[in-house]
Amino acid sequence: MAFDPQLAEIRFGSGLSPTLAPVPSVDTMLARLQGPDRAADHFPIAKTDETLALVRVFAKLRKLDRSKRGTPEAKLAAKTFKRFRREYLQQRDLWFRQLVLRHVTTQDSLRERLTLFWADHFTAKGKNRAMRPLAYGYVESAIRPNITGRFEDLLIAALTNPLMLHYLDQFRSRGGNSALSRRQGGRGGLNENLAREVLELHTLGVGGPYGQKDVRQLAELFTGLSYRIEKGFVFDERMAEPGAETILGRVYGGGEPKLEAVLQVLRDLARHPATADHIALKLAVHFTQDQPDPDLVAALSASYRDSDGDLLQVYAALLNHGSSWMPELRNVKPPFDFLASACRGLGVAPAHLAGWEPKQIRRSFIAPLKLMGQDWQSPVGPDGWEEADTAWITPQGLSARLRWAMAAPQRLVKDLPDPAGFAQHCLGARANARVQFAASAAETRGEAIGLVLCSPAFQRR
């Protein structure tokens, strides 16, 4: 099994486009990953600092609104807060549009797929209205710039981002013998959420070589990791548990609490062989099939270990392995990938979407995603979205996909394309006889386009 340009776009990218030539080689895919991030430049999304500034305004206006209740200024304060809150949430919808346009227009679509993959691996979300839009800044600041570096840098960037510290309640965690606890009579306590997810989800994996004692010790070492809305990430020594902690048999810290001990344990966890196996399996499942070739997983794990977690070398191992190019399409596209690849296949014009109001974006994308089972940026737990195909092949999910495919394309492009040509453009050699028959036999052009989008050939990658 060898490299296939069309398959490269479908399996490792955002799908085929009528206006962009398929990527010609693995070398080009890897070279583009190392080049400038043109999609982010063309369709910018706020980073953490900017979104934190908005959170500060949100908190200030909310406080003013509450303080003015029962006074003559109450009506103005309430109106000002309501308007800002509405515009704040609308901005989130506009950032979603930027995200879709990156997938539609990029020639470097492996970068978009990897960004989604790692954002899901390090799932974090805001737990209140003020913090929810921070998810966009989190991906832009912590995930996207680090997907081609070493895994340990990606791990550190994700875990020290304010959104992750907020999501897993790390900012509340304090050592029982910390200076702050002693001063406040033992108020507060240790929170193990971040430590447990780091071991179970982010590094060693479920069933990895660790126990509850390691979780507890790591949680104590993590005390001090916090954030301030005004400053972003901080290491608050007052909250840190003094003394040394032992994790996986190695001692960390021991003197005054310092951030460096935390960073060192993260680097060690990132380079652990169990982490190599965990990351290798996740990548192989995500990009090939639910039950990947064991030889592929072993090759990815070996590349990870040999390079100390150099992700670019792991991607090279993935793209140069024969199993990655099996011609049969296996994995079902998650809802966002389905919508994004449909827009790319339709050749949606950026100028057209740029004119859409936030309400249109919610109605055409965000609300349908929720019906398909992917409430955008709001997965149920820290383990992120389901990877198994069966999670997306549900009666409700398929019904939502069908309804979207039949109605949305007519809003997304000015003139619907010829169905037969559309099938060829978005599926290439995989526009089989069944797809071509559906494209030619439907009563209307809209129905034909919808049937192509709903075909198994388009739903899988």
47-60: pLDDT as tens digits: 999 999 999 999 99
- pLDDT at residue 256, rounded to an integer: 86
What is the distance between the alpha carbons of residues 110 and 312, in angstroms, rounded to a whole number? 12
In this structure, which amino acid lies at residue 371?
L
pLDDT reported for residue 442: 85
Residues 340-383: tens digit of each pLDDT: 999 999 999 999 998 899 999 999 999 999 999 999 999 999 99
Return the sign of the alpha-carbon dihedral for residues 434, 435, 439, 443: positive
Rounded to an integer, what distance in angstroms lies between the CA atom of residue 5 and that of residue 24? 6
- What is the CB neighbour count within 10 angstroms for residue 253? 21
Angle at 145 between CA 139 and CA 150, to 5 degrees: 115
DSSP 102-158: HHHH-S-HHHHHHHHHHHHHT----SSTTTTTHHHHHIIIIIGGGTTSBHHHHHHHH
pLDDT in tens, 383-424: 999 999 999 989 999 999 999 999 999 999 989 999 999 999
Q: In angstroms, rounded to a whole number, what is the distance separating the alpha carbons of residues 185 and 163?
A: 29
What b/e sequence results for 166-204 when a residue is b if at least 16 CB atoms lie within 10 Å of its CB, and e otherwise? bbbebbebbbeebbbbeeeeeebebbbbbbbbbbbbbbb
Which amino acid, one-letter code, is at 164? M
Torsion, Cα 385 389 392 396, to 10 degrees, reads -150
Task: Provide mean pLDDT across the span 25-33.
Answer: 98
Task: Give dist(CA 243, CA 232) in Å, integer.
Answer: 26
| Interatomic CA distance for residues 9 and 24, integer angstroms | 10
- pLDDT over 70, % of the chain: 100
Q: Which two tokens stand for residue 357?
A: 């109001």
Q: Which residue has the tokens 């979205």?
A: 385
**In the prediction, which pLDDT does 188 show?**
76
What pLDDT was estimated at residue 148? Answer: 97
